[in-house]
Structure formats: structure tokens, C-alpha cells
Chains A and B, each alone.
Chain A
Amino acid sequence: MTSEIQTKTSFLHDPSNPNLRFLEEVSAHTAGVSRLEMCIQCGTCGGSCPPAADMDHTPRMLFAMIRAGFREEALSSNTPWICVSCYHCVVRCPQGVHIADVMYTLKSMAIRAKLYQDSTAPDFSRSFVDNIEKYGRSYEFGLATRHYLKHFPLRLPGMAPMGFGMLTKQRMDIMPHKIDNIDQLQAILERAKEVEGLS
């Protein structure tokens, strides 16, 4: 199956067509083989998606936009940010498109192009990753308080009982936990960023 696709993607290498470059770029930044060119626009993904109502485009429409080369429109869509990674669409897709992973790709491309509409989600990811890069572990208390303070200050009072509960039930550590060999992890991530062309 993979080989079939790899032969097919070679058809996309048409330097004269800038629209196809966006599709290629998205495919290149996706972890597995995206299979975006296989989408038949059946809508199984949009039908399966639990939070579809909150998206400004269904996944299927987004794929059509990617294939048409509508770069800015696609990267500023809120759709990837609403995706809850439930993988219903992935297992149901009759064409085997790696939908959830394409959503991750679009997020990372939107962050790089600064095209996201709402900074809540990118900020959350950033804060989460900052903690990991610093400690090697996630740090829920720091993350949740910082994040809610910034983005949902009015909700904090409502959330307080829950946060209080989590603390008293000893389900949240006030202090972060750091792994022993954090230097090694940081060196790895540094090198990874070089490979990715990020640093």
C-alpha cells in the first residue's frame, strides 16, 4: 500500500504548479504518509467528528482547500485546534487518510506562519511544552493556573472548587518534578530542532 502511494506522490512534483506545493508541504510535515491526495470528499470525517459543530470547516473541506492551494485560509481555520484527537475519523475513513496527524501538521504550520485566530490553544501547547523542556515532565498545577489566569480569568472562581479538590485529594503536585538526566533530553531536543530547521 505504501509503495503505491509513494509512486503516486511523485505525480505531485510539478514545480510549475504552486497550488500543489502546499499539499506537498503538508504531506512532508506529517508524521506518517498522509494520503491526502486519496480523499474522495465523502464526509465520513466531518460526520464522525464530535466537536464538528464548533469548527469553521469540516475536515473534508479543509482537505479540499489544501489540495486547491488555499494556504492562508487553511492555516487560519480553527478546525485543527478544535480537533480532540479521538481518531473516529481515522479508523472510519474509507481512504485511510491520516486525518488526525494532518491536523497536528496544520497546527504546527499555523503556529509557524502565525495564522491562528485564537491564541488560547497555541499558548496552552506552548506552556505545556515549555514545562517539558524545562523539567522533562508535565506540570499540571503550574500549567492550569497559568493558563486559566491568562485565558479564562472569569472562569477561575468557578473552577476553584475543582482545583481545590484536586489539591486536597493530592491529585496535583504544587511543585514540578524534574527528571535526572534533563541535560540529555535537552540536547536531544536541541538537535531535533536543528534537524527540523527550527533553530
Chain B
Amino acid sequence: MTEQDQFEPVIIGFTCNWCSYRAADLAGTARVKYPPNVRLIRLMCSGRLDPTFVMKALASGADGVLITGCHPGECHYIEQNYKALRRYQLLKRVFAQLGIEPQRVKLVWASAAEGVKLAHEITTMVEEVRALGPLHWGASNGREVHDHLPTEDMELPEEAEVMA
């Protein structure tokens, strides 16, 4: 058996309270199956997603990060998911510079009625990340993590640029 065969990626998922977390609930209620590699964190809104959260997750050993929110135009907070979209695009650029494969960070819109869709997206992402193999960026143990953890010291592009 090769390492690839054994590799089970760990993916941290961020959901918004109103649409995508409910989509995950619905996937459960409807017993739609998906692989157990994803672990979800509930935020109020995808707009709450601080890019640092994504950095932190990858630096701490996650192999991928899934960002989810309401469909554009359906945000519970009117338009905050557009801000998530901008930050996601920014993150993509930063990751490209850091040499991280773009497939490791994925943005998915899922309404509260789209349990099947969310499960499908999770399944696809797990397979994609599995194919990429482990992300040797963070740590194999917790101690090393904090050396890489981006904090406010790290130079992040200004929010003004994010908003642009």
C-alpha cells in the first residue's frame, strides 16, 4: 500500500448559521451520505470569515478548507456573503504565492434546501484533496504550528484591497 492509499485528508468547513449549516442539517435529516473527513464550524454569516481562520486551519494541520454560505442575493444579512466571496478571491491569490494548491480552499453556496448539493460538494472536495495528498505546510504536531500561525504581525493585504 502506498501512502496515497492510506491518506485521509482532514478538511475544516465553515458554515453560515442560516443557509449552509441548515443545509448540513438537512443532509443529516435526509440521511445523505458523505465522507467523514470534513469537520464543520458554525459562524453567523460567511461574512464573519476572517481570512486568518483559513490560514490558521491550514497551518494547524488541515489539508483543506471549505467555505460555505448563502447564495448570492440570499444572504440573511443582505449582502455579507459577497464580502466572503471577495475574501475568498484574495485568499486564493495569497495561497498561490505561498505555493498552496488552489483546490485546497473551496467556496460553495448552499441554501438551506440544498442538503444534497452540500453533501455532493463535500464528497467532491474530499476526493480532490485526497488526490493532492497531505498539505505539508503546517505541522505534524501541535508545537510547530504556532511558528507558522499568521497573526496580526503577518502582512496581509489591506481590507481596503479586499473591498476593492
Contacts and interface: CB of A to CB of B under 8 A. Distances in A.
A107 to B, nearest CB: 34
A61 to B, nearest CB: 31
A199 interface: no
B116 interface: yes
B124 to A, nearest CB: 8
* Interface SS of chain A: helix
Interface in B30-63: 32-33
Contacts of A3: 116, 120
Contacts of B32: 7
Nearest to A2: B120
Contacts of A4: 116, 120
Interface string A1-45: 001100100000000000000000000000000000000000000
Nearest to B119: A7
Contacts of A7: 32-33, 116, 120
Interface in B81-123: 116, 120
Interface string A84-108: 0000000000000000000000000
Interface residues of A, number: 3
Nearest to A3: B120
A4 B118 CA distance: 11
A3 B116 CA distance: 9
A7 B116 CA distance: 10
A48 to B, nearest CB: 30
Nearest to B117: A3
Nearest to B123: A3
A95 to B, nearest CB: 17
B1 to A, nearest CB: 25
Contacts of B33: 7
B146 to A, nearest CB: 40
Contacts of B116: 3-4, 7
A7 B117 CA distance: 12
Interface string A66-78: 0000000000000
Nearest to B34: A7
B71 to A, nearest CB: 17
A119 B9 CA distance: 57
A30 B113 CA distance: 31
A7 B30 CA distance: 13
A58 to B, nearest CB: 32
Nearest to A4: B116
A109 B67 CA distance: 47
Interface string A128-157: 000000000000000000000000000000
A8 to B, nearest CB: 10
Interface in B113-143: 116, 120
Interface of B: 32-33, 116, 120
8 contacts: A3-B116, A3-B120, A4-B116, A4-B120, A7-B32, A7-B33, A7-B116, A7-B120
Interface of A: 3-4, 7
Top 4 A-B pairs ranked by shortest CB distance?
A3-B120, A4-B116, A7-B32, A3-B116
Given A3-B120, A4-B116, A7-B116, 5 more contacts: A3-B116, A4-B120, A7-B32, A7-B33, A7-B120
